[in-house]
Structure 1
Amino acid sequence: MKRKYFIGFLFAALTSCSDYIEEENLSSESAETFYVTPEGFNSLVNANYSQLRNIYGDTPWPFIGGTDLYSKGRGRGPLGLTEYTDLNSTSSDVDHLYNECYEAIQLANRALYYSEITEQTANLPVLLAEVKFMRALSYFLLVQTYGGVAITDYYDTPVLEFDRNSAEEVYQQIISDLEDAIAGASSGSFNGKVNKRAARNLLAKVYLTRAYEDFGSNEDFNMAATLADEVLAGQGLNLPFEDVFTPGNDMNEEVIFSVQFDASSINADPDGLGSRQYAYFGSYLGGSEVLGQAPSRDYSACPTNFALGLFTEDDARWDATFMTEVFYIDTDDYTGPSYFTFYRVPKAEHDGLSVIEFYEPQWFTETDSLDYVNTTALAPAFKYHRWGEYSSEWTDQVSLDYEVICVKKFDDPAEGVAFGGRSSTRDIILGRLGETYLMAAEAYLQAGDPATGLQRLNVVRQRAGVVDAELSEFDIDYILDERGRELFGEYHRWFDLKRTGKLVERASLYNAQITESDFNGVGAQKILRPIPQQALDLNQNNDFPQNPAYN
């Protein structure tokens, strides 16, 4: 096998590039003897899956920062990624995807290398397909975030000089890997492992994204539409929207691919190996999380007024996405707000509970407001949050507990999760049927078949209980609004805006912390993130270019 050796992109190589694999090797065997056994090779593939947790389980900022839907609350995210005012090659979190994705790529390359010398089993082609999917996913995150990056092979000795491949070459690598994944992966239903459907779904998004590039084509939109329809395969959105995110239902029929977490797999470090997705998208809840009554919230990624205003009265996604009421309890052990009572008391009994925090929707009239307070059991110190007084813009002024409405889609009411950190064992959904319908809608629209695209989009709207969209209003902004309603908080938004060329326009228009001038860099706009400085410093190739706007 031809081998190339790269180190500059892989910061883990500064210490030990195998640290994240060796925990899987519980024997005293060396890698050379362990990975050539079925048990050892399986552990290497499992390490590829585990690395997904590091990519998605910790910080949300590369996925949601600096967009139209989220801005700072009482806390602050990294200014470079959230407000563009201090975005440079050393900015906080700008290296997150660079580090974690290249660690994932090195893991995948290692598995592909050992696949040629390990014991050849009947299941080996399936495992290789899974590995190629995960390598493709990492390259896809990299090329969207940083543009062209280095395409690397497996290395075991360092070389400090490397070249940068073009974005077009990276897309070709991604597509090749995913075509191999589709050919070799299991055709069974999703069980936590990559299958053909997951690979097709990711390939549809890759073609959809490449189509907007200057080297893309209308045929890419056609390919995206065809692949998305193959993934849909006539399956409707049969679950109520809230059921898709009900705790304990993470492996429901609409999930195509997700990052898997469970208590047994994080027990070595229960506060450091799980997910933090539950911790974002809401306000600090007054310390009650210490007593197990509420989740610990980061309070620095809060919904904008624009995001909250996307929902209408008949949209089931409003109540399914946001915690509009917080209940109050009075027991021997605790008296006060109890966010988790929503989950601990059957829904049929909610009407008998006292409410201490209520967040008024935008469609409430004064009569609706009076009816609510007159017909609801109100707790002591009840707080009525008026529309327009619980967004990121509002808390930027008042900065108090419970001032921002909380996103409940990712809540984990399990005992022990409320104390913060990466402690949640809920899966992070990366692909689901509702998004695939919206991908198809976008692909058909851009391919010149808006009527078919509108049909796909209206399947999503029908499940939400809202009226069908009309052809006269169906454009890319309408799709982005619909994605905002359907996918709020699901780690897609920055990539959605960048893909469609709407990042500068919509972030500066709808995010109060961002103006269009914030995007101005050195001779270009900050559309791509900068190559991390440490990667540049390690590289002895002086011709390796930084991205436009950061030179």
Structure 2
Amino acid sequence: MKKIIKLLTCAALVGLMIIPTSCKKSFLDEEVVNARTTADFKTADGLDGLVIGMYQSLKFHFNYTWSYTTTNYGVDEFAVGGDRTEQMWNSYDGTLNSLTGDATSIWDNMYGNINSANIVIKNVPEFYQGANKNIRLGEGYFMRAFDYFKLVKQFGGVPLKLEPSETIQEEFTRNTPKEVYEQVIQDFTQAYNLLPPTAAETGRITKWAAAHFLAKAYLFRASEINNGWNTDTKTADLDNAIKYADLVINTGGYTLATNFSDLWNFTAPDGPNESNKEIILAAQFSNNTATQGRYGNQIHLYYPSIYQTLPGMIRDIPGGREFQRMRSTDYALDVFDRVNDSRFWKSFKTRYLCNRPTGAPNWPANAAPTPALAGKPKFVGGEEAVLYIVNDAGDTRYTSAEPDPAKVVLPTSITRRAPSMFVRYFAGQPQSYLGGHGNFSTNQYVALSKFADGSRNAVPSQFGQRDGILARLAETYLIAAEAYGRQGKFAQALPYLNKVRDRAAYKDGEDRSFHVDGGVAYKTNAAVPAGSLVSYSDRNSYFESNNIPVTTTNTLSSMHLNSEADIFNSSRDFYTKLSVSSQADKFLTFMLNERSRELMGELMRWEDLARTKTLVARTLAFNDEARPSDNKHYLRPIPQSFLDVIRSNGAPLTGAQKTAMQNPNW
């Protein structure tokens, strides 16, 4: 087999031929065949297989630590939990550097797939015959654009490689961000023109996926990080962001999920929620263990807080493996109107059931609700064992912890409750966004549950089987809204914002105490015997946390924006804390907050804060450890492994040449 590429990547991905087999997700339930050469890529069959191989690269964004370290660490929404693995991505300390592995993984994998795309783009016009010719070419253009878009968002200007490599290439120069964005937009446009409106197979890219990312690329190019050079394109870019977002919204046939929780109600691999009409593009995972590869979808691991060590609890499949990497910040909780915005309670988990009754604690005599309960278990299997109260400062219901450190008992207001109880604010504690309060901790915090996966085949398994959403219609609405707001057309942004916010309102008759997440897939999982005690609870702590009477009336009037004044006068959007005062700055702040409310944890936050140049201000305000620098941390370091092997005029780069090619101050 010819060597495809060496210096840009560590793995020659195009040397991997993928042969489809028949199954529900037929084109991705594949067997791996390595005995292929580049000559195969001059046949329709070989090019079909190579394109299928490119789809595997979409899974990369959900596979391992790079998925969250490069997107959701070091931001306002999440900080480091009890497991400090990869903490440098959150703190921005000196161990985050050009040798850091996850940055290299992004670089290598994007360029590996780009080379596959280059082969497709070059060979399909010459060697591919058949009805799918334009589709295959469009897929090639989409993948090249998608991967260069990822690279420019992370690294800024990178080398543009637009021809396939079949021999070792050693000399590269960096293109400017302007040149990379021009190529990304050109390729996404080609993809839009070539791809079909409807996918022939589940998971295939359509012209609407191209349009969504084209709108997003235009918005990114018009953002603050590019202000040094985007003056000439900004006006047209905002128009085009709206144009392509509108095409998706009005022509693509997508609709918002009726209920926000429908997106996360994962009941089985390839189950109903994975074909929800809000999803524009998703990386396709399955329960085919023979082809799951090294990782599977591992996002389910990183957000949960510890539950297995609490009384009456043991780790199980529906509760997940709690790697406790991504600890929700106080900003993540307070950016929501937790009374009226259902998205908070449909994104976070606040109750667990006892699944190990032999470990249940007994009532102490001095805290038992009645003398008859003294010495009896506080709860039995299937009853509530863990409860999180997400309250506000000023709540006087829960007394502060005893000051004597020799006493390990919790306050009476907590010990007289049966479950292990974690309260955000005790009486008398002031509101704060940095530092601790209540008895939340780095191990015990309110956990994002969007990615829970109860379909795994064993308790210790890391191999998640649910699809990874890459684009959904709610974000398309937010792209259009932001583009209008950046034009100063705030009133025209409102209908787009209200489509998303109205969906987030509670409906008449809705049970606000109901919770569902992907842990519920345990019910269709043969690895969880029927009748087993599980930690999964279909309840939340809405009413107890908010301390309000039970109600089932709708909250539409509270969520709906009646005029732009509702944005500029918002008391929940941290304008004073972030020192923003102009309408333009308030609108951008509101948009970033609305993106949090809708897209919390969905692996795009760092890129949003970097593009808007708000990373430093927001992390200093809301992340108690992150200390990014304005002159450094809006870009990632170019991997040292790349700089050490490339050459200039046949000679290795000098130290000065490496510095010149590296991003500033790395």
TM surpasses 0.5:
yes
| TM superposition score category, shorter chain reference | 0.7 to 0.9
**Rg larger in 1 or in 2?**
2
Residue among 422, 425, 430 paired with 1:385: 422
Q: Separation in 2 of the partners of 1:379 and 1:278? A: 33
Contact 2:477 2:500 in 1 (8 A): yes
- Is 1:284 aligned with 2:310? no
Find the counterpart in structure 2 of residue 530 from structure 1. 637
| Secondary structure class of the residue paired with 1:359 | strand
Provide closer, same or farther for how the CA distance between residues 512 and 186 of structure 1 changes in structure 2, counting only shifts above 3 A.
same
- Give deviations 1:310-363, integer Å, cap 9, x for gaps: 1221111111101111122468xx8779xxxxxxxxxxxxxx962111111225
Classify the secondary structure of the residue corresponding to 2:300: helix
**Residue-by-residue CA offset, 1:57-100 (whole Å, 9 max, x unaligned):** 22211111211111101111424321111232112422221111
Q: Distance in 2 between matches of 1:65 and 1:398?
A: 19
TM-superposed deviation, 1:35: 3.0
| Deviation of the 1:229 alpha carbon | 1.3
Distance in 1 between the 2:620 and 2:149 partners?
26
Residue in 2 that maps onto 1:375:
none
The equivalent of 1:318 in structure 2 is 344
Tell me, in whole angstroms, the C-alpha distance in 2 between the residues paired with 1:478 and 1:198. Answer: 26
The whole-number CA distance in structure 2 between the counterparts of 1:450 and 1:400 is 40
Q: Residue 102 of structure 1: SS of its match in structure 2? A: helix
Q: Is the 8 A contact 2:81 2:442 kept in 1?
A: no
Separation in structure 1 between the aligned mates of residue 504 and residue 150 of structure 2, nearest angstrom? 30
1:75 aligns with 83
TM-score of the aligned structures, taking structure 1 as reference length = 0.85
Report the equivalent of 1:346: none
Are the equivalent residues in 2 in contact too, given 1:61–1:93 (CA < 8 A)?
yes
> What one-letter code is carried by the residue in structure 1 that aligns with 2:661?
Q
Tell me which of 218, 242, 247 is aligned to 2:266: 247
Q: Which residue of 2 aligns with 1:135?
A: 144
Deviations 1:269-316 (A, max 9, x none): 57x331111111221332666543520022111111111111221111
Q: Distance in 2 between matches of 1:173 and 1:406?
A: 39
Which residue of the other structure, out of 57, 71, 78, is the alignment partner of 1:51?
Answer: 57
Runs of 5+ unmatched residues, structure 2: 20-29, 268-272, 362-380, 400-414, 427-431, 506-557, 569-586
Q: Deviations over 1:462-495 (max 9, x none)?
A: 1111422341325111111111111111011011
More deviation, 301-310/113-122: 113-122
Deviation, 1:509, is 1.3
Counterpart secondary structure, 1:429: strand
- 1:99-114 correspondence runs (5 A): 99-114=108-123
Percent of residue pairs identical? 29
Instruction: Work out the CA distance in 2 between the residues paired with 1:329 and 1:391.
Output: 34
Structure possessing the higher relative contact order (Cα contacts under 8 Å, 6 or more residues apart): 1
Q: 2:202 aligns with which of 191, 198, 201?
A: 191
| 1:221 aligns with one of 223, 238, 245 | 238
**2:481 paired residue among 432, 441, 459:** 441
Give SS of 1:267's match. Answer: helix
Q: Which moved more, 1:192-201 or 1:128-137?
A: 128-137
TM-score (norm 2): 0.71
C-alpha RMSD over aligned residues: 3.1
Q: Which of 274, 294, 297 is matched with 2:296 structurally?
A: 274
- TM-superposed CA distance for 1:186, in Å, is 1.3
Report 1:151-550 matches (<5 A): 151-152=160-161, 153-188=163-198, 191-212=202-223, 213-214=226-227, 215-216=229-230, 217-233=234-250, 237-248=256-267, 249-264=273-288, 266-269=289-292, 272-286=294-308, 290-292=315-317, 294-312=319-337, 313-329=339-355, 354-362=383-391, 382-388=419-425, 394=436, 403-416=444-457, 418-421=459-462, 423-465=463-505, 466-469=558-561, 470-472=563-565, 473-474=567-568, 475-515=587-627, 518-519=628-629, 524-541=631-648, 542=653, 543=657, 545-550=660-665
Report the more deviating stretch, 245-254 or 79-88.
79-88
Q: What secondary structure sits across from 1:358 in the alignment?
A: strand
Letter of the 1:303 partner, please give it: S
Over 3 Å counting, the alpha-carbon distance change for 1:119 and 1:93 in structure 2 is closer
Q: Distance in 2 between matches of 1:395 and 1:507?
A: 19
Residue 251 of structure 1 deviates from its aligned partner by: 1.9
For structure 1, the 5+ residue unaligned runs are 338-351, 371-377
**Post-superposition CA distance 1:25-78 (Å, at most 9, x none):** 867864244333333221111100001212332221111121111110111142
SS of structure 2 residue aligned to 1:250: helix
* Closer/same/farther in 2, CA of residues 18 and 223 from structure 1, 3 Å limit: closer
Q: How many residues align?
A: 513
Partner residue in 1 for 2:270: none
Using a 3 Å threshold, how does the CA distance of structure 1 residues 6 and 400 change in structure 2: closer, same or farther?
Answer: closer
